[in-house]
Structure 1
Amino acid sequence: MSGNDVYDLCVLGCGPAGFAGAMRALDFGKHVCIVEGAEIGGAGIMWGALASKTMWELAKDYAVAAKQDRGYQASGLTVDYCAVRRTVLQAAKEKQYQMLSQIETYSPRRWKGPGALTLKHGWGRFLSKTAVEIRSDDGKKEVIKARYFLIATGSRPRNFPHVLMDQCRVLNSDGILNLQRFPERMVIIGAGVIGCEYATIFSSFGQTKVYLVDRANRVIPYEDEDISTFVSDNLVRSGVQVIHSAQLREIIPRTEYQQVVLDFQDGHSEVIESDAVFISIGRTFERSGLGLEVLGLDTGSPGILKTDANCCVSDNIYAAGDLTHHPALVNIAEMEGRYAVKHMFGKNRWPLNYDNMSTVMFFYPAVAAIGLNEKGCRSRKIPYRAAYLSNVLCNRAIAMRATHGFVKILVTDDEQQRILGMRAAGPQVSSTIMSIAHFMDHGKGVLDVLKSVYPHPTITEGIEECLRMLLGKSIFKPHAFPDLLRLWRWHPETGVTVEERGDGNGQP
């Protein structure tokens, strides 16, 4: 395209949302300009999901190798943070170059089919609703025009305003790979998903004493209490010291260490000596520099960029990913990026559905979630039944010597027993969660799911047995294993949880 041509779509940001949206536009034969000032892949590749999960896999493997209860014992087991860092960067670069390779394959220089992808390195700023100025790091400027724009510039870690983030001794997820060795002591501020994941990672390597600090009285506070307790107990078992109801006051730098001052809700304070402080208090959208004011958008309220049900901000301007008001997850970002493009070009067939968005929390063991939890059902006043099965009774988990985990399924309290949500913990949950997700998307009930025969021995058999229990025809009965199998129901009229026996009242 020449400098006077108008692109069909300009995408600002080449993270998960921007890349997925650009590829969907290519499917429609559109000419796309992708503008990225930092790393291709964004936080989803270079500093977030892929990088942290690579580190989690390495930590998990190390923890398994260090076990002494499996009939073997590894001798002389050591780990070097610089080697771990190289492996993580290698994984991130591998995915990054896959993305770059595809962009180059469909560049106007190479691709002679319909549409094309043009990558421009720099930072985009709106001049109008149809034009963006791109500023490169060397000061050069270029103006491009487009019919539609997709803002997918992502988010950045939220910082304390009074804490100096040097990304060496005080750091966030963007700076975790700046470490040159495992710190002997690390304080993690924030017990949400990211904080708990990194507490899991560093404690699993066994080189770092980890302190996990949060203002709430339990970790992962938006989940049901049984999930929070499960995660917290496993962190403690891994050597993490979990500190509740505390707020960071200040970090005092010393020559060889740092003093972390915590203020507790009961009025007392505590000082912890630490070699590294990891800040994990959420993420925020950085709107400065985008020129949103020329679009007539509200630039005063921080945090998010408001969109409608079609990911549209205003007229021909769309947004997707972390900068919207939905959870900052890669799968949501990709879904929104693709949907926004489908809508702008009139290709969408059904509305977005956030209700059945599955998530995985990479703790040890991992926890997966989809749909409503009990807190969600109660806040919406939905009557439900719940079934719980411990992995102690799952043959595959027994064979793996990984029985620390469970399945919890919620269904409507009616004849259909539609599946409302599931929480699962243990091995392979990142994959097994989808065995329920597909049925939820189609509004299916317990009987529909049980028409399938599950392979043996697999972790999914735990799901099968949990569903059978809701019909009163499970192979193992709650009455025989009251600590491992549970059934209960809740109704908004009474607000009371009622335990059930579940040992023979089902259908033949």
Structure 2
Amino acid sequence: MSSTKFDLIVVGSGPGGYVAAIRASQLGLKTAIVEAEELGGICLNWGCIPTKALLKSAQVFEYITHAADYGISVKGAEADFTGMVKRSRGVADGMSKGVNFLMKKNKIEILAGWGKIQPGKKVEVTDKEGKKTVYAADHIIIATGARARELPSVKIDDKKIIGYRKAMTLEKQPKKMVLVGSGAIGVEFAYFYSSIGTEVTIVEFLDRIVPVEDEEVSKALEKIYKKSGMNIMTSAEVTSVDTKGEGCKVTVKSAKGEEVIECDVVLSAVGVVSNLENIGLEDVGILVERGKIKVDEYYKTNMPGYYAIGDVVPGPALAHVASAEGIICVEKIAGHHPEALDYGNIPGCTYCSPEIASVGYTEAKAKEAGYEVRIGKFPFSASGKASAAGAKDGLSNLFLIKNMEKYSVHT
């Protein structure tokens, strides 16, 4: 029979939640984790992991179609879209089962259902049959993650206008696709679909793609994507999508005026929004500012005994950031003295082709902060390893901030 009293309850089992739960168990806390869907959250089931599986399939297909460049003759290769999707789902399923094993190994109780925090350091869990059970804990961590953000002009219907979850499980490969947004999600899906033969158009509201990266990196990726056949529209806005016919008619407004692009599917990839609704924040009195839960450097909310980590708090919406926050939060709860996370030193990677990796300031951000910078550049075309691998597109930038022991690397 399951217990209803714990030292710690974690609401949400993504890379922030399940890592926090494991660390808590390792430190001797009686721990439970609440999850309404699959263990592992969005990252393992509908984000990072299955996306990377699709991207690997695309990379293998590209190698095959360009095999002659490597002195190999291959004939009749075709992209099996259904097979790629099936493999991706299999990889995600395996990872989720792995998290389930880790929960059992660390003696963490899994509370399946929708978690809603309550006053008095309690969590109400509603299972699939609607049965409600209330659990109590000395400490409660909110790690409910985020979901795809929607624009008023691009409302997701999961048929013709889709989000990232549906983009991973489409029944058939679209011939033409319009991608709205060019952050990590947008450019990764753009690479996947374009590499297997879909005609891709990227529409970005800002003046360059992957706008959080260094400007030179953005320019390099745009050049490579255009060379591969993608249509890229920057400083452009989707004002409406007509889905009445067989496909979609996408109206795009830019400095050149308005134009209508016809496609089979529109993929909305305009970022994420925190999952804060219907989890009891108002009932407990937890403060929210600008769509994020307000926390201190050790992830305490304004209410004693309640904490928050991951995509529901300010900071980069990255899996490894959520994991680090979870560990720091739990170690502080357990009476240890962890260092607060340095958000100016977070590595990031976008798994398009070529991949984009970065850590530290961009050149613009360093100058904006008032630092004097030195810049080193190295084109991959000058690298023997890149030439041998047949991947000469791209560059590496190194920024040295003078008078500080801090480096920024962007590739």
TM over 0.5: yes
Q: Using the alignment, how far apart are the partners of 2:337 and 2:159 within structure 1?
A: 46
Deviation at 1:418, TM superposition (A): 3.4
1:333 paired to 2:332: no
Deviation at 1:2, TM superposition (A): 5.7
SS in 1 for 2:108: strand
Give 1:33's aligned residue.
32
Q: Which residue of the other structure, out of 387, 390, 395, is the alignment partner of 1:401?
A: 390
CA contact (8 A) 2:221 2:394 kept: no
Q: Which residue of the other structure, out of 318, 324, 332, is the alignment partner of 2:313?
A: 324
1:421 paired to 2:408: yes
More relative contact order, 1 or 2 (CA 8 Å, 6+ apart): 2
CA contact (8 A) 1:258 1:274 kept: yes
Deviates more, 1:92-101 or 1:386-395: 386-395
Q: Using the alignment, how far apart are the partners of 2:15 and 2:353 within structure 1?
A: 26
CA contact (8 A) 1:210 1:240 kept: yes
SS in 1 for 2:10: strand
Give 2:181's aligned residue.
190
CA offset digits 1:11-70 (Å, max 9, x no partner): 000010000000000111111111000121111111111111111111112112111322
1:374 paired to 2:373: no
- The aligned amino acid for 2:294 is K
CA contact (8 A) 1:360 1:368 kept: yes
Q: Using the alignment, how far apart are the partners of 1:263 and 1:360 within structure 2?
A: 30
CA offset digits 1:244-303 (Å, max 9, x no partner): 22211111113421111112245x21111110100011100121111111221245x552
SS in 1 for 2:370: coil
Deviation at 1:164, TM superposition (A): 3.7
Deviation at 1:333, TM superposition (A): 0.7
Deviation at 1:162, TM superposition (A): 4.7
Give 2:43's aligned residue.
44
CA contact (8 A) 2:180 2:268 kept: yes
- TM normalised by structure 2 equals 0.96
Q: Using the alignment, how far apart are the partners of 1:247 and 1:162 within structure 2?
A: 10
Give 1:305's aligned residue.
293
Q: Which residue of the other structure, out of 229, 249, 252, is the alignment partner of 1:259?
A: 249
CA contact (8 A) 2:287 2:301 kept: no
TM-aligned CA distance change 1:117 to 1:257, over 3 Å: same
1:69 paired to 2:69: yes
1:23 paired to 2:13: no
CA contact (8 A) 1:188 1:212 kept: yes
Number of equivalent positions: 409
**Aligned residues: CA RMSD:** 1.6
Give 1:352's aligned residue.
341
SS in 1 for 2:358: strand
Give 2:146's aligned residue.
155
1:291 paired to 2:317: no
**1:122-271 map, 5 Å:** 122-205=113-196, 207-265=197-255, 268-271=257-260
Structure 1 unmatched ranges of 5 or more: 107-115, 425-508
Q: Using the alignment, how far apart are the partners of 1:147 and 1:124 within structure 2?
A: 16
Q: Using the alignment, how far apart are the partners of 2:146 and 2:210 within structure 1?
A: 21
Q: Using the alignment, how far apart are the partners of 2:82 and 2:410 within structure 1?
A: 35
Deviation at 1:176, TM superposition (A): 1.3
CA contact (8 A) 2:328 2:339 kept: no
Q: Using the alignment, how far apart are the partners of 2:125 and 2:405 within structure 1?
A: 50
SS in 2 for 1:178: coil
Q: Using the alignment, how far apart are the partners of 1:232 and 1:190 within structure 2?
A: 13
Identity among equivalent positions (%) equals: 27
SS in 2 for 1:372: coil
